[in-house]
């Protein structure tokens, strides 16, 4: 059964399995720069959005999540992309803060991948096609484990940053 739709069809329906388990996470390319005004992705090393700057509006780019995970449902494993709102539920902080922690602590990205493995959640998904590959985009994520702790809490414990923010950690360095 395929849940995909082509551009000539109505938007894909939302699929929400009763539960999913994260079996893998890829933190190698977990974020990108985005225009805070129009939410467009910016090319690498761009400091302003070309479309917004033509209209005279400029704003500093914002780093946002694009986290790729593989989730197991009751009958299959599917790749799912978690964009900013959905990823923040699991991670618990802005993408800038996580990027800073990864820069300050070699190996933290691998620890983050391992910490997410096995996490059970309810994920509402929509399909999209990128090239010939059908993928899913998370519309919402709800952790199912009692006592769920966002990823940033686990990483702060592992790397001794306590409750300090990224700015505080850089000021101490």
Q: What is the tens place of the pLDDT at every residue in 117-153? A: 999 999 999 988 777 777 799 999 999 999 999 999 9
Query: What pLDDT does 40 receive?
Result: 83
Q: Are 76 and 109 in contact (CB under 8 A)?
A: no
Percent of the chain with pLDDT over 70: 84
Dig out the tokens for 125 from the structure: 């998904």
Q: Collect the ranges in the chain with pLDDT lower than 50.
A: 1-10, 163-173
Other beta carbons within 10 angstroms of residue 173's beta carbon come to: 6
- Partners of 130 in the β-ladder: 133
Residue 16: per-residue pLDDT: 86
Burial classification of residue 98, based on how many CB atoms lie within 10 Å of its CB (0-12 exposed, 13-18 middle, 19 or more buried): buried
Asked if 37 contacts 52 with a C-beta cutoff of 8 angstroms, the reply is: yes
- Please report how the helices 151-159 and 95-104 are oriented relative to each other, as an axis angle in degrees rounded to 10: 20
Q: Label the pairing between strands 20-26 and 31-34.
A: unpaired
Domains of the chain with CATH codes? 20-30+66-172 (2.40.50.140)
Given a contact cutoff of 8 angstroms between Cβ atoms, the answer to whether 14 and 126 are in contact is yes
């Amino acid at each position: 059964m395929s849940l995909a739709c082509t551009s000539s069809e109505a938007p894909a329906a939302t699929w929400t399995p009763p539960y999913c388990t994260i079996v893998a996470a890829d933190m190698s390319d977990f974020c990108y720069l985005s225009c805070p005004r129009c939410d467009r992705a910016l090319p690498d090393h761009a400091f302003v959005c070309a479309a917004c700057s033509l209209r005279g509006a400029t704003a500093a780019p914002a780093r946002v999540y694009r986290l790729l995970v593989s989730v197991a449902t009751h009958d299959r494993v599917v790749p799912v992309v978690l964009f900013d709102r959905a990823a923040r539920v699991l991670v618990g902080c802005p993408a800038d803060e996580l990027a800073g922690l990864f820069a300050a602590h070699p190996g933290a990205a691998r620890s983050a991948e391992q910490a997410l493995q096995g996490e059970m959640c309810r994920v509402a998904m929509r399909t999209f096609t990128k090239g010939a590959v059908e993928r899913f985009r998370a519309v919402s994520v709800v952790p199912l484990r009692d006592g769920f702790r966002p990823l940033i809490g686990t990483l702060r414990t592992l790397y001794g940053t306590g409750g300090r923010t990224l700015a505080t950690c850089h000021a101490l360095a």
